[in-house]
Amino acid sequence: MIPFQLLAQEYETPLYVYDFDAMTKQFETLKEAFRGKKSILAYAVKANSNLSVIKHFASLGSGADCVSIGEVRRALMAGVPAYKILFSGVGKRDDELREAILSDILYINVESEAELGRVEMVASQLDKVARISVRVNPNIDPQTHPYISTGLHDNKFGVDLDSAKRMYIKAKNSQFLDPVGIHFHIGSQLTQLEPIYEAAVIVADLVRSLSAISIDLKFFDMGGGLGVQYDNEVTITPYDYAQAILGALKGLDLTIIGEPGRFLTANAGYFLTKVLYEKKNGSKRFVVVDGGMNDLLRPSLYKAYHRIEAIGKKGEPSACDVVGPVCESGDFLAKGYELPLMEHNDLLVVHSAGAYGFGMGSNYNTRGRSAEVAFEKGEARLIRDRETFEDLVVLETKYL
Ligand code: LLP
């Protein structure tokens, strides 16, 4: 049990708390599902990019999937070996490509023919060989929220099969490119296995047809996307997930790469916020808290559900909107949520906030981002200071 009340007293609110032991368990369960196969789990740093979180996964043997050179630098700084780092993302600048190639990371996930041209150009300027993988868009509907669905031709991600084939041939013929992998990622918070399997079959078939023209890939990168339980979703088990991927790959001997983010961190994270007061507009009840959309954007952006626990409160619950202090009607943590009558300084714990929580935070309304705490083996420790007003203005004051 995490002593939320004590942590809120010691570190104040709003606060993120991460259960590192729960993260370990998730990592090991997923790794175990691929036991006996060559595999690398490359933690998707965007889910929670705190250096201590990345370092924790690195200590378990994780690699890192990064979507900016900033994330690559974080991964290296946190101790992830370069040979387990991937650089993905639909738009990479030349300077980012340059640094990635010079850092000798495992490979760059390329998302378009135009980008392949840039990678080749940058590699030639450096007189280096860039290892690449092509992100294939298998045109599969992952049946998740449209904002986090990425595997349809309607989405900006990846390339169709014909373009992918052309890109591999170009890469094979280039002295500055080495095609080592193939990648797909059809969306996030996936709870249906069938679309993942179908996508894997399409991509595995492409691997076979490339092999027939002597382009032999080493890495089969199945992306991330494994869903978790926020409410009462039925999720895919790591075992079934692994069996689907292995089933699609049958006969192929490639190292499997996974890019899990949410699965590793979401349910290990808690967002702690204190009640400022209750108010009513007519008959509508609001509980106003000290954390808002600038701390946890998911409810506002995706209407995402996060379970909220009112610590130590036993009264009769009734419906309310839990709202933050930000000047936006969209600033809420929950709508129509059943809570007992709340008083000043009561503590609310927002569950499943470990993925895409702090990382999507902002300084909107000149609000400093919250502190972050790790809870591991019964002990808590600070892993990020609370931002101060001075932190927020430091890049501007010299221009006054
Ligand atoms: N690999 C690639 C190429 C990705 O685009 C993503 C997530 C991942 C791996 C990790 O996916 P995961 O295992 O975490 O599902 N902000 C949204 C989620 C955006 C996901 C973006 N890409 C949310 O809060 O639900």
Please give the distance, rounded to the nearest whole angstrom, from the Cα atom of residue 136 to the centre of ligand 1: 16
User: Alpha-carbon distance 168 to 174, whole Å?
Assistant: 10
pLDDT of residue 142: 80
Is 259's C-beta closer than 6 angstroms to any atom of ligand 1? yes
Any idea which architecture 20-262 has in CATH?
Alpha-Beta Barrel (3.20)
Per-run averaged pLDDT (10 residues), the chain, 400 residues: 97 98 98 96 98 99 98 98 96 97 98 97 98 94 75 80 97 98 95 96 97 98 98 97 97 96 98 98 97 98 97 96 96 98 98 98 98 98 98 97
Is it true that the peptide bond before 260 is cis, omega within 30 degrees of 0?
no
Q: Tell me the DSSP string of 171-202.
A: HHT-TTEEEEEEE---BSSB--HHHHHHHHHH
Given the residues 327, 366, 379, 398, select the one marked as catalytic.
Answer: 327
> CA-CA distance, 287 to 319, in Å (whole number)?
10
Does ligand 1 come within 6 angstroms of the Cβ of 224? yes
Ligand 1, closest atom to CA 190? 15
- The architecture that CATH gives domain 4-15+267-399 is Beta Barrel (2.40)
Which ligand 1 atom sits closest to the C-alpha of 225? 15
8 Å CB contact between 8 and 272 = yes
Q: How many CB atoms lie within 10 A of CB 376?
A: 16
**What pLDDT, on a 0 to 100 scale, did the predictor assign at position 143?**
79
Cβ neighbours for 373, distance < 8 A, ≥ 6 positions apart: 7, 11, 15, 16, 17, 18, 380, 381, 382, 383
Give backbone dihedrals phi and psi of 283, rounded to 5 degrees, phi first: -95, 0
Is residue 306 in contact with ligand 1, taking CB distance under 6 Å?
no
Token digits for 132?
A: 């690449």
User: Does residue 44 line the site of ligand 1, with CB under 6 A?
Assistant: yes
Q: Give the whole-angstrom CA distance, residue 208 versus residue 223.
A: 19
Domain boundaries of the chain, sorted by first residue: 4-15+267-399, 20-262
H or E stretch at 281: strand 269-281
Q: Is 327 a catalytic residue?
A: yes
The pLDDT score that the predictor gives to residue 137 is 93
Q: Tell me the three state secondary structure of residue 158.
A: coil
Q: In this structure, are residues 109 and 67 in contact, taking their beta carbons and an 8 Å threshold?
A: no
Interhelix angle 161-172/113-126, nearest 10 degrees: 20
Which ligand 1 atom sits closest to the C-alpha of 145? 25
Ligand 1 atom index nearest CA of 227: 15
Query: Probe ligand 1: pick from 85, 185, 188, 190, max atoms within 8 Å of CB?
Result: 188
262 CA from centroid of ligand 1 (Å):
7
Give phi and psi for 178, each to the nearest 5. -130, 105
- pLDDT value of residue 151: 67
Tell me how far the alpha carbon of residue 383 lies from the centroid of ligand 1, in angstroms: 23
Alpha carbon nearest to ligand 1 atom 24, residue = 356
CB 353, CB 345: distance < 8 Å: no
CB atoms within 10 A of CB 194: 11
Candidate of 236, 259, 296 to mutate for ligand 1, largest count of ligand atoms within 8 Å of Cβ? 259
- Please answer whether residues 326 and 288 qualify as being in contact, where contact means their C-beta atoms are separated by less than 8 angstroms: no
Q: Is 273 in the pocket of ligand 1 (CB under 6 A)?
A: no
| Contact partners, residue 268, CB within 8 Å, separation at least 6 | 18, 19, 20, 22, 23, 26, 354
Per-residue pLDDT, 34: 96
Is the pTM higher than 0.95? The answer reads: yes
